[in-house]
Amino acid sequence: MKTPSARSLLVIGLSLLAFTATGRAEQSPAVTAPRTDVAPPPPAPTTAEIVTKLKTYTYEQRAEYALLVDDLTRKADAALTELSASYVEVKSSPTRRKAMEAYRAAAADFKDKATKVDNAQPENWESITSNLATSWQNLQGAEAKFRSEKA
């Protein structure tokens, strides 16, 4: 009886490899196919929608309002982190530096106004919510301005 030659072993090995690879290729599309039964997430609210929402809460809804403000504060912090990561002061143009300063000032103003929600009273509720809505609008404008400036 003859022992298998290296050539025969190579042919057998390649055949097994090809067989295994084609079997996996047939399974792959089914596994990686996107799910069609899941609805896409709703679009993010616009700045105008958020401003309107910030102005419509009543004093009796202040707990829900505080949750919204906390969420917006987290978003502002995340945006500041993201923008700061792409910003190098030494290499930035004067207009970009000015835009970053304006964004940082707007973020600080928003956070300052957000802290006033906790101490709100019925007498000053409308003023606080209006000021906070305006501050959010200014923050979004400053962010858009920064993003539009070139390095």
Residue-wise pLDDT tens digits, 57-102: 999 999 999 999 999 999 999 998 988 887 777 677 888 889 999 9
Smallest CA-to-CA distance from 67 within 108, 112, 107, 117 is with 117
Looking at every residue in the chain, the average pLDDT score rounds to: 82
C-alpha 103/C-alpha 134 separation (Å) is 14
What predicted TM-score, i.e. pTM, was given to this entire model?
A: 0.68
